[in-house]
Amino acid sequence: MGIDRIFGYGSLIWKPPPFVTGRVPCYVKGYTRRFAQLSHDHRGTPENPGLVVTLVPNSEWLKLAGAETYPCSYVWGVMYTIEPSHTGEVKRYLDEREKDGYELMEVDVFVVEDGQERWYGKSSIYVGHTTNPSFCRPPTHDQLAAQIYRSVGPSGPNKEYLYHLKREVEALCPDANDPYLRDLECLVKQLDQVSHS
């Protein structure tokens, strides 16, 4: 069984899988996007893991984090349509790329057309559940920023992942602005400035 549609909310936004035939900015409901997944293989190392984003059901995140500083009922990303003859190949590619604690599931995706919400269909999605060994319980925002600032892996500095993600999300549409990413980027850039002063 292959993947004919995949919703990307992290690096898939700017690094799509192969054999894409369509790209649609859209969002999912009932989830929170957070830097809560340890990255031992891309933005960190086994000794010094970085952090990348995952989606957590809102109710589950509130139990873990307590009061939510950045309440949001939806997460913007992109949905890719895959060439039918390559769905199996793309699934194998994504299974390898998202192997560090992520599981494949299906979600409803929505778009905005003429100012109105419209259900767009079902899509596959990779999510790092809170029970997976790479899930990181929410630290303080300052601790989160410090870990992202200092972590580097085979795919590059962890901070570049954050900067890229924030920029790409904001470029999706005017409604896609994410205060959580904005404030986290601000904290990491402050650490950058201090180290270079």
- pLDDT digit string, tens, across residues 6-26: 999 999 999 999 999 999 999
Model confidence pLDDT, tens digit, residues 87-110: 999 999 999 988 777 889 999 999
pLDDT band at 67 (very low <50, low <70, confident <90, very high): low
Q: Give φ, ψ of 25 to 5 degrees.
A: -65, 130
pLDDT value at residue 68: 66
Identify the active-site residue in 60, 98, 106, 160.
Answer: 98
Read off the pLDDT of each residue in 20-34 and give the average, rounded to a whole number: 96
Q: How far apart are CA 104 and CA 46, in angstroms?
A: 23
CA quadruple 164, 167, 171, 172: dihedral sign = positive
pLDDT at 72: 79
Which residue, 109, 104, 108, is CA-closest to 126? Answer: 104
Please indicate whether residue 98 is annotated as part of the active site: yes
Position 48 scores a pLDDT of: 92
Q: Is a pLDDT exceeding 90 seen at residue 50?
A: yes
Q: Which domains does the chain have, with CATH numbers?
A: 5-195 (3.10.490.10)
Alpha-carbon 164 to chain mean position: 11
User: pLDDT value at position 158?
Assistant: 97
Model pTM greater than 0.85?
yes
User: Residue 63 — pLDDT band, cuts 50, 70, 90?
Assistant: confident
For the segment 115-141, what is each residue's pLDDT rounded down to a tens digit?
Answer: 899 999 999 999 988 888 899 987 889
pLDDT number for residue 197: 59
Give me the percent of the chain exceeding a pLDDT of 70.
Answer: 98
Tokens found for residue 83 = 């060439």
